[in-house]
Amino acid sequence: MVMKPFTDQHADLNILVMRMHSHQVHGLWSGSVILDDGTKLEIRDMYAFCEYVENRW
């Protein structure tokens, strides 16, 4: 699978002992996957996002 990103929602907040840092990359996935029964499934331009988050409370 290959992702073509189109936006990155970024937040960075650092107040006293609290910290929130995140990236949400939104994009379209394309490629193929093999299911458990051996069936090949073709995917084209499926919307999804990937997320990276660091929180300190």
Residue listed under structure tokens 């990937």: 50
| Higher per-residue confidence, 13 vs 44 | 44
Residue 16: pLDDT band (50, 70, 90) is: confident
- What number is the average pLDDT over the span 9-28? 91
| Higher per-residue confidence, 16 vs 50 | 50
Q: What is the pLDDT of residues 29-54, one digit of tens each?
A: 999 999 999 999 999 999 999 999 99
Give the pLDDT of residue 15: 87
Residue type, 2: V
Q: In what order do the strands lie in the sheet with 2-15?
A: 2-15, 18-34, 40-56
pTM: 0.67
Task: Measure Cα distances from 55 to 9, 17, 22, 23, 37 in Å.
Answer: 16, 11, 8, 12, 39
